[in-house]
Structures are given as structure tokens and as C-alpha cells.
């Protein structure tokens, strides 16, 4: 475990200072930016990724642990996570799920296996994390969940190329609002953020150019901006944004 926070970081005014945060998918993309921002705000971290131990070496993180695991099913993931938490001897106060495989394919071409995989990873896993950690948060009278949806999955709409992926991500709105309702009297909050196209290592240059051309600003969002804005929604006590579904797409209109 690292033993020092990054130098010169203003953490005293954050409600996350000293809290323990789990970031699923926290070693890459927007999740990586969220991990760095959480550390800047003084949180202790458990950063998940397939190669989290390796990828976090170049990140500006303070107190942190890593959880290297490849997702196959919610059950096996939670089992492995429990074993890791037992070794650490702590339960998370903050749970961020920034993991979620993307697929762009017309509905008629999606296989049964693809439907199962996308739904398990993008909806069942966040739901399982909520069910696993919500009781402890309620007992401790504090908890924060942040889920990352897909672009334009803040409401029910049609999709020509991403219906399977978007169907699962849209369901996260029900999850966030349900946590908010159940946790309201126990200082447990949940927010769903739906970023627009974002500049990450997961997009090839052709996709970046195509997506940027559909955004009024002509440029993709930066993951650091998405991370700061998203965390600001739950970095409050009380969290009046609980239950919100927030679109951060800059007017993206494909």
C-alpha cells in the first residue's frame, strides 16, 4: 500500500477525506480519472482492473490497494472481491462502477451470448455490488454509489447500433433511484452519470473523429472533467443529488 498522498492536494474540504472507495474499472478510461480525483480528495482506494497492479504504477495515487480481476460473472467477481476485502480488513464507504464493455452492432445481429455478456457486465454487476454493500452502508449511516451509464442512456429511446448495450445501461437508472429511495434516511446516496463520447484509450482515431463531428463543440470530453463533475455530485453531506440521472454529453446528438 502507498503511504503518502500526492503532494499539494487540497483534500480537507472534501467529504471523501479518509473514506474508503472501491473503483471497479478504476485503472483505465474514465475510471482511471475517477481514481486519481478520489485520491486527490483524500480517499483511500481499492482500484480494480484486469491489470490494476501494473497500470496503477504510473498513476498519481495516495493510499491505495489494487484488485486484479477479469470479469466473467457477477457471482465470481463478488466472491473474489470479498476475498480481497477480507485481506484489507475494510468495507467501502464509496462504490464507483466505471466498468462496462461496449458493443456497437445492430439489434438483428446480436447473439444470445452477446446479450447475456452485455447485460451481466453492464447491469447485473452494478446491481450485485449495490446489494452486497448497501446493507453495510445503511448500518454505518454513510454510503455513496456512482454508476456510469452510456451515452444518451439517461432515458428510454431507440438505438440503431447499440440496442443491447444501451438497454443494460438504461436499467442503471432504476438501480440508482432505488438505492436513493432505500438509503435516504440512512445517508446513503446514488447517482447515475451518462457521459458523452470521451477521450480515452478505448477509442480508435477514426471513432474519435466521427464522434467529435457530432458534438456541437467539435471535441470529445476529457475524462478528468467527467471525473470531477461526477464526483462533485456525490461529494456532499447530505447528498441532495441522490437519485439523479445526469447527462454529461455536451449536447451530443447523433
pLDDT tens profile 36-45: 999 999 999 9
Give the per-residue pLDDT at 5.
45
Q: Is 49 exposed, middle or buried (0-12, 13-18, 19+ CB in 10 A)?
A: buried
CATH superfamily of 20-248: NAD(P)-binding Rossmann-like Domain (3.40.50.720)
Residues 6 or more apart in contact with residue 133 via CB below 8 angstroms: 22, 91, 92, 95, 143
pLDDT tens profile 153-187: 999 999 999 999 999 999 999 999 999 999 999 99
Mean pLDDT, all residues of the chain: 92
pTM of the model: 0.92
SS3 146: strand
Domain boundaries, the chain: 20-248
Give the per-residue pLDDT at 11.
57
Lowest-confidence pick of 1-15, 70-84, 113-127, 220-234: 1-15
C-alpha cell at 99: 466498468
Give the per-residue pLDDT at 8.
41
Amino acid at each position: 500500500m502507498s503511504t503518502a498522498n500526492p503532494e499539494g492536494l487540497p483534500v480537507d474540504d472534501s467529504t471523501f477525506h479518509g473514506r474508503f472507495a472501491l473503483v471497479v474499472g478504476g485503472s483505465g478510461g474514465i475510471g482511471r480519472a475517477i481514481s486519481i480525483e478520489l485520491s486527490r480528495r483524500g480517499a483511500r482506494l481499492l482500484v480494480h482492473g484486469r491489470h490494476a497492479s501494473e497500470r496503477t504504477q504510473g498513476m498519481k495515487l495516495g493510499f491505495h490497494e489494487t484488485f486484479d480481476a477479469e470479469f466473467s460473472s457477477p457471482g465470481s467477481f463478488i466472491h473474489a472481491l470479498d476475498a480481497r476485502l477480507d485481506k484489507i480488513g475494510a468495507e467501502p464507504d464509496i462504490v464507483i462502477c466505471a466498468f462496462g464493455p461496449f458493443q456497437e452492432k445492430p439489434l438483428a445481429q446480436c447473439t444470445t451470448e452477446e446479450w447475456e455478456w452485455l447485460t451481466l457486465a453492464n447491469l447485473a454487476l452494478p446491481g450485485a455490488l449495490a446489494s452486497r454493500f448497501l446493507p453495510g452502508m445503511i448500518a454505518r449511516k454513510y454510503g455513496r454509489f456512482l454508476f456510469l451509464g452510456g451515452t444518451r442512456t439517461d432515458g428510454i429511446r431507440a438505438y440503431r447500433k447499440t440496442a443491447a448495450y444501451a438497454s443494460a445501461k438504461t436499467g442503471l437508472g432504476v438501480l440508482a433511484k432505488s438505492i436513493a429511495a432505500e438509503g435516504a434516511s440512512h445517508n446513503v446516496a446514488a447517482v447515475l452519470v451518462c457521459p458523452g463520447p470521451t477521450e480515452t484509450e478505448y477509442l480508435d482515431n477514426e471513432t474519435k473523429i466521427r464522434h467529435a463531428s457530432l458534438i456541437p463543440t467539435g471535441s470529445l470530453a476529457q475524462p478528468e472533467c467527467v471525473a470531477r463533475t461526477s464526483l462533485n455530485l456525490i461529494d456532499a453531506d447530505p447528498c441532495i443529488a441522490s437519485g439523479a440521472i445526469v447527462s454529461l454529453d455536451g449536447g451530443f446528438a447523433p
